[in-house]
Structure 1
Amino acid sequence: MAGQVAAAAARRALLLVVLLAAVFAAVEALPGDAATAASERGESEADLAARRHLMGLDRPLWERFRDWMTTLPTGDLGVSARGEKVTDLLADPLPNTLLLGTTAFVLTVVLSLALGCWAAARPGRLTDRIIGHAATASFAVPEFVISVLLLLLLSLWTGWLPAVTVTGADGAPATWTMLIMPVLALVIPQTGWNTRIVRGALADQASTPHVEAAVLDGLPTRQVLLRHALPGAVPAIATGIATSTGMLLGGAVVVETLFNYPGIGTVLAGAVATRDTVLIAGVVMSAGAVISLVLLAADLIRARVLGARA
């Protein structure tokens, strides 16, 4: 088990390094740079060249990436184009995004398990078809469309919820009601995705010998589903839910911008606009570390369940 953990962790770390390298290359390929974004009207080319030298942008890309990666193991995410430490810039937004993502993640798990099991308990019936079609439709709609619909329905038309997020003195949302629409915008599509996964995994388990034997023994449907089918479906469900972590954090970039939520999505949008490579990489690193840990946990769960079967 220790060897499996080390191998899985090494794979995730390698993927994260490749992703960070791709981030540096992608920002470099965009038109303009941080020096141009910070320039004022009427500045000469000499002024721009001096600013690029001050920011280190005249150095080769591979050198900048190497230096940034060298300090990364110490927890140093570098310095932004404005001269501020990236760790300080993310100190307040990252916990807000983790609060949003964790709340959405928990609700997604609970709802997808409940709906998937409900549908699996009534295979081929109207309930199963309705849940299946609703899950497919909800996953097909992008987060920004759902966000706009929620804004229209719950804020502009009814006035039940605030349209934007207002922060308190601590930098967090002023009231818990400001979390409702951003969370729903993330939960709805991912619940649809995971409901389909849960339903499919339980359908696969229904044809296994031990589940068929439980049915022939006359056990209640609920007992067959929860005690015999669901444990065998855990690896597939865990993998699907872990994948949703990336989708939740990726969708948070759009959702946070639309609802003016004080998270890393807003920071990332601003960093892209100013071509701040180090700040973008810091955001990606923070989100990527969370996603990698969840995927690693899913790998371990899958290995443990499959090892117990063997």
Structure 2
Amino acid sequence: MDALTTLRSFASRLLWLALALLACSAITFAILDILPGDPARAMLGMNATDEALTALHAKLGLDRPPMMQYLAWLDDLAHLRLGTSMTYDIPVAQLLSGRLAITLPLAAGAMTIALSLGLPFGAIAARRRHRADGVMLDAAAQLLQSVPDFWLGIALVGIFALHWRFAPSGGFPGWAHPAAALGALVLPALALALPQAAVLMRVMRSALISIEPQDFIRSARARGLSPARIFLRHALPHALLPVLTIATMQISFLIGGAVVVETVFDLPGLGRMLFDAVGNHDLVVLRDLVLLVAAAITLLSMLAEWLATRLDPRGQPR
């Protein structure tokens, strides 16, 4: 019976994923279709002739009704075929492969830094919330949450790149030189991570404070368990549930922040690709990229929900 229930749950999640992506594809296509501007004119320039525009419209499939364009796009997606960039005349899959090699390590590094800072400092802020250092930690987290990514990136460049010369101010040398490549990602990762670390710290702090007066914590103290054991065995698993949920939601903020941060640091990653696609009115890249990002976020949300059920002590046998 448990196996059947698990199978049904998995099937329902896959169905929900398919419906969510279908809705996202329809919304994405509709929004991009009503945006002002003509991709063909953006490619050919303002002096393009009507004959050249008509020929390019036919080549790009823009002369077909919107519904036909949408169905053709869905057919390509169903067969795992990404389109060809209108701007570069290069398959989107080929563009993505090079850009992901920068954005994925950047996002992974930023999330690692955010978790490494947010969780321990959140625990410290909760434990010392009535002392001056705990109040200062909470105030610093609130300040970091309000700092824009681009300003933080510029500040990090001014301090660590121009003044202290600790890291390069921008550019990416390629993975042929791993040490230089990692060095080029340090400041961008910090610019992305610090506001997210502040969010995780405050979530962790609030979760631990709300758990402290619970009956199971008082029972653990009454049994004579040490504070460290109470924290690791009882408080931390409960506090990690909201933190895990927020951390998954932060993936979308990391991608959004990457658009700004990669522009500030001149990194040719996924965010810069999205920024250039908007400027060039490259509908093919925009549609495929937005849907791929939505699929990644949805899958990560499902993974986080599954992990939450595993981490929830209430669902574990005693």
Q: 1:17 to 1:139 in 2, by over 3 A?
A: farther
Q: 1:140 to 1:14 in 2, by over 3 A?
A: farther
The amino acid that maps onto 2:182 is W
Q: Distance in 2 between matches of 1:28 and 1:120?
A: 49
**2:26 aligned with 1:21, yes or no?**
yes
SS of 1:38's equivalent? Answer: helix
Q: Percent identity?
A: 31
The amino acid that maps onto 2:131 is R
Q: Distance in 2 between matches of 1:234 and 1:117?
A: 11
Q: 1:236 aligns with which of 233, 242, 255?
A: 242
SS of 1:165's equivalent? Answer: coil
Query: Comparing 283-292 with 84-93, which one deviates more in the overlay?
Result: 283-292
Q: 1:67 aligns with which of 67, 72, 76?
A: 72
Aligned counterpart, 2:190: 184
Query: Comparing 236-245 with 215-224, which one deviates more in the overlay?
Result: 215-224
Q: 2:86 aligns with which of 81, 99, 108?
A: 81
**2:264 aligned with 1:258, yes or no?**
yes
Matches within 5 A, 1:1-310: 1-82=6-87, 83-168=89-174, 174-304=180-310, 305=312, 307-308=315-316
Give 1:218 deviation, angstroms: 4.6
SS of 1:278's equivalent? Answer: helix
Query: Comparing 115-124 with 253-262, which one deviates more in the overlay?
Result: 115-124
SS of 2:44's equivalent? Answer: coil
Q: 1:233 to 1:179 in 2, by over 3 A?
A: same
SS of 2:289's equivalent? Answer: helix
CA contact (8 A) 2:113 2:190 kept: no
Q: Distance in 1 between matches of 2:278 and 2:32?
A: 8
Give 1:128 deviation, angstroms: 2.2
Would you say how many aligned residue pairs link Structure 1 and Structure 2? Answer: 310
SS of 1:163's equivalent? Answer: coil
What are structure 1's unaligned runs of at least 5 residues? none
Q: Distance in 2 between matches of 1:219 and 1:207?
A: 16
SS of 2:272's equivalent? Answer: helix
Q: Distance in 2 between matches of 1:309 and 1:67?
A: 50
Per-residue Cα deviation, 1:203-222 (whole angstroms, up to 9, x for no partner)? 22112211122234454333
Q: 1:16 to 1:95 in 2, by over 3 A?
A: farther
The amino acid that maps onto 1:38 is M
Query: Comparing 92-101 with 300-309, which one deviates more in the overlay?
Result: 300-309
- Give the aligned CA root-mean-square deviation in angstroms: 2.2
Give 1:62 deviation, angstroms: 2.4
Structure 1 length normalisation: TM-score? 0.91
Give 1:2 deviation, angstroms: 3.2
Q: 1:79 to 1:170 in 2, by over 3 A?
A: farther
The amino acid that maps onto 1:27 is L
Give 1:171 deviation, angstroms: 9.9
Structure 2 length normalisation: TM-score? 0.89
Query: Comparing 293-302 with 152-161, which one deviates more in the overlay?
Result: 152-161
Aligned counterpart, 2:3: none
Q: Distance in 2 between matches of 1:176 and 1:164?
A: 12
Per-residue Cα deviation, 1:4-40 (whole angstroms, up to 9, x for no partner)? 3333343334333322322222222222121011113
Query: Comparing 270-279 with 285-294, which one deviates more in the overlay?
Result: 285-294
The amino acid that maps onto 2:106 is L
Of structures 1 and 2, the one scoring higher in RCO (CA 8 A, sep 6+) is 1
CA contact (8 A) 1:165 1:178 kept: yes
